[in-house]
Each structure stands twice: as structure tokens, then as C-alpha cells.
Amino acid sequence: SSVSSSVFLSVHAILGCGAEHCLSRPCKLALAMGSDSQAPTVAAPSAGSSGAAMAMEGPVFEDLGLMAPRLLLPKEGVDMSKWSVIACDQYTSEMAYWQRVAEFVGDSPSMLNLTFPEVYLPQKRDAEIIDGILKKMEEYSSSGVLVPLEPGFMLVDRKTPAAESRLGLVVALDLELYSFEKGSQSLIRPTEKTIESRLPPRIAIRKDAPYESPHILVLIDDPDCTVIEPLVSKRDTMNKLYDFDLMESSGHLVGHHVTSRQDMDTVAEALRRLASKERFQEKYGASDDQSPILFAVGDGNHSLATAKRCWEAVKEKGASMDHPARFAMVELNNVHDAGLCFHPIHRLVEDVDPADMVASLTKHFEAEGSTVTFEEGAKHDETEDVGHETTHRIEFVSKAKSGVFVISSPKLVLAAATLDSWLNPYIEANSKAQLDYVHEDYTIYAKCKEEETAAGFLLPTINKNDLLKTVVQEGTLPRKTFSMGHAPEKRFYCECRKILT
């Protein structure tokens, strides 16, 4: 995520949608608000608690930091294929993608009109773009584009270009049980390092935003498929709230609303089994002084960290513990889902001298005691076997020279960490250099073929089945270590949730 992700949140947050809009929605969306609107407040999480309290939204399972949120969806008649748009931090080097999206959407209500895609950041037109978004928000607010639903989870089934099905469960997580601090032992924690300096601009935007619609994806390690997958067999008993093709050949999305208390309780019980101390120690080789990790942030790490800081600020001002900002909406994914593919995130550097980079990289790692060789014309390995490497293989691409750097006896565990230990200081020392994190290798190949002052580094990805074990044993991974799918497989904005009273 990036600053633009928060810009999306702030402008989208201007939308207003009262409960009266439910009355104009056909029966599948005009769901009863339920008696829980007058329910008691949520108590602070208590260790060992296994019950569920009721908040202003839905059931809250305190020991798990889990809540059934009151989501919002577009009103009847909105073309969902035009409404739902991919996360704004995708296709950051491909202006043509976003131009095609704009042409496809036309004048239809769409999340595109509520987002600030990162591809536009270099244009330095922030004020102009945001002003246009604010005017569109006024239009959407007056026409009641968003409709609040009965509290519940959303069971999502996503078809992607790489998989027929990838299951997810949209929930809200308790920020009281989340920490991104170094050495965190919280139940909810990041998989990658959080850069604190990246939070202030996001905080400045989110702190007054009444709505959220982030693209945060949170992983659970459920090899026996006990949490999300059992809900699939019950879909016929649930309201199907959307079923549509995604734009740009990105697949298909189906959403079923999970409102049965029995189904929610079943999900919670399965999560408790995953969170048990005994299982944690046996599965990850954890010590007695380590606490279980249940929810691992896969995508949107800085978005969740921003939500945490904003909740702390709201709490300091005297907000009650049942304030909606205490929770953040996320989509849960089982890391063992066959439809969830892990890919590396590559580094593209522009406005540099590739030959100087080659010399600098070699000098840096040789000074650390590593042996550096270059295999002309070679390609990088697809997957990194974490914990067993004696070398790191990193593909280098430029117009004049391409191949694989082989770095023997690296000081760090992951290839991404090894590369960044040299690359980040190099970028800081070269003020004209522009660094971008790219998901698709074809983007790097194309850029480096066209530009003599561009260079790319292609990395392997980690084995997804070892992800949580690596986090427990090694700590959080370097920033932008892996991607959960290629760009067209990323989460599309669809649901929203109110976060201010």
C-alpha cells in the first residue's frame, strides 16, 4: 500500500449513507438492521475469553479479535463490473491500463471515481485529482449509492486468471489485538517490516474518514481447511449479494452474506483451534515465551498500521471501547488455498547508470565477505527455499547487460533482504534514481529494453506454506518480499464499512 491508498480512503469516506437507504433496496439487500443496534458495548479483550459480545455492528469474539461487520454495497441497478476496481497500488508503471479502465467505466458509478491510482502520482496533480473525486462523492452521497447491510461476514469466491477459485472471508479485526512493533507477539501481526515514516501522511488522511474500503488481505495457516471452506457447502442458505465478471479479464467475483449466528460461531471455534498455544508450539517450533500468531497480514500492511495509529488517537480522545474505529475491515485468506499464488515483487530503478550499479553491488557484497559472480544471460529461480540457501540468485536486467548475480555466503536469510541491504542505500545516495516495486517481470523487461538508464532486479519468492513459520522463527520479513498473486489477481474494491460514529 502507499499514500495513494489512504487518499482513496479519505475521499471515499466523504460518502454518506443512512440506514433509510435500505428501504429502497430489493429484499436481498434490504435486510433487517436487527436488534443488535441497541446491544451493549464491547468490553476490552480479556485473556482466555471464548464468548462473543455484541457491539454496534455484529457479534464480537473478544479472544480472537474478530467481529462481524456491517458492510455497505452499491444500490440496486449499479453495474458491479464497472463499480469494482482493482487496488490502487497496482499497474503503477502502466498508464494504458488505467486509461482503458476509465473508458470502460464511462459515466457509471464506480470505485474508480473514488480512488487515486498510484500511476498518477508522478504527475503532481494531487489537489486537482482529489477535488474532482470530492465532487463525485457529493453526487454519490445525494443519490444514495451505498446501502448498509445486516451485520455479517462476506464469503467471497474469486476466480482469477491463474485459478478457478480463491476463497476469502471479509471480517473486521480488533486493532487492540494487533501490533506492528518490532518483536511483536500479538495475535494479529504483520509478515513484513512496517516503515513508521510512511504512516504520518496516511494518518493525516484516515483520522477524519468516516468510511474504509481497504484492500488488506490477512492470512490464516489452516492446512485442514476448517475455517472458510466449510461455509461453501452452506452457500445455498445464504443471500448471494453479488455475482459478476471483473474488468480487464481479471476473473469473476461472487459474494455470499454469512449472517447465521451458528455459522459465525463455527468459524470462531475453528479459529480458536488454530490459535491454541499447543498447536502453535508444535507447528512452528515456538518457545514458551512466544505467543501464538493467528492472523498474519499479507497485503496492506501499512494500511492496517495506519488504522492502528488512528484508533489509538481516537481512544486517547476518550472514545469508548465499542467505537467502530477499534476494528478494521479485512479479507481473510487461507494460505493453503490452492487458488492463492505467491509471487516475488521485483525492483525497477530508473534514471540510473546500470554499469555503475553492477560495480557498486559487486563491491558492496565482496566487502561483506561474499563471493559475487555473474552468469551472463541466465534467469532467476522461481522459488526460494527459505532457511537452506548458501547462495542468493538475483536476476539483473538492463539494455546493455543481463544475467544473474550469484551471491555466495549471504549475511541475510532472504534474497530480497540481501538485495535491499545494498539497493536502498544506493537509491538514497543517488537523488535522481527512481525506485518502483513491480509485480510483473514483463514490465521490467520492456522498460529496460527501451531505456538505457533503467535497470531491473528480479527476485525469487518464498514458499507460501513456510510463511508463518518463517515469521515466527525469523521475525517480520523485509518490505515488499512477496506478492499474493500477480497484478490481475489482486483484490478488487467492493465492500465498504463505517469507521466513525
What is the per-residue pLDDT across 74-117, written as a single tens digit (0 to 9) for each?
A: 999 999 999 999 998 899 889 999 999 999 999 999 989 877 78
Contact present, 301 and 192 (Cβ < 8 Å): yes
Q: What are phi and psi of 271, to 5 degrees?
A: -65, -35
Contact present, 455 and 352 (Cβ < 8 Å): yes
Average pLDDT of the chain, as a whole number: 85
Across the range 311-329, mean pLDDT stands at 95
CA distance 68 to 173: 9
Share of the chain above pLDDT 70, in %: 86
Across the range 214-242, mean pLDDT stands at 96
CA distance 322 to 473: 35
Share of the chain above pLDDT 90, in %: 61
CA distance 289 to 272: 19
Distances (CA, A) of 189 to 67, 193, 194: 17, 10, 10
Contact present, 496 and 211 (Cβ < 8 Å): yes
The pLDDT, as a whole number, for residue 486 is 85
Q: What's this model's pTM, rounded to 2 decimal places? A: 0.80
Could you report the per-residue pLDDT of 277-312, keeping only the tens digit for each? 999 999 998 999 999 999 999 998 989 999 999 999
CA distance 210 to 13: 5
